[in-house]
Amino acid sequence: GAGVSQSPSNKVTEKGKDVELRCDPISGHTALYWYRQSLGQGLEFLIYFQGNSAPDKSGLPSDRFSAERTGGSVSTLTIQRTQQEDSAVYLCASSLGVSNSNQPQHFGDGTRLSIL
């Protein structure tokens, strides 16, 4: 497809379980971002990948959160030992990621995560 693809669209799991969220960026986009949006709130930055550079993990809220990006394309966000406060919509975005910061980011439809 032409846009950012995320899966699953919805995920319901029990507290304490691990979850994996997947993001497939727009073809040709080298920069990939993960954000989360809690109900009625703005977007909170989590992690950023640019090409082969070390990711910017400064937004990850705890060591239960991790992400990887294989082959410079698909990314997986993993949340271990989920807690109820992890319930949110997890959004992935991608951009051309050239040397300046002016490239707009395009978002996928998100994964709505609910922790019971």
Binding stretches for other proteins (CB under 8 A): 31, 33, 35, 41-43, 45, 48, 50, 56, 59, 91, 95, 97, 100-102, 104-110
- Provide, rounded to whole angstroms, the least separation between the CB of residue 57 and other proteins: 11
- Provide, rounded to whole angstroms, the least separation between the CB of residue 33 and other proteins: 6
- Provide, rounded to whole angstroms, the least separation between the CB of residue 34 and other proteins: 9
Nearer to other proteins, 27 or 100 (CB): 100
Nearest 10 degrees: Cα torsion 77, 83, 85, 87: 50
What span, in angstroms and rounded, lies between the C-alpha atoms of 100 and 103?
A: 7
Nearer to other proteins, 20 or 56 (CB): 56
What does each C-alpha distance from 7 to 23, 50, 52, 87, 111 come to in angstroms?
A: 7, 21, 24, 16, 6
Nearer to other proteins, 27 or 101 (CB): 101
Nearer to other proteins, 19 or 110 (CB): 110
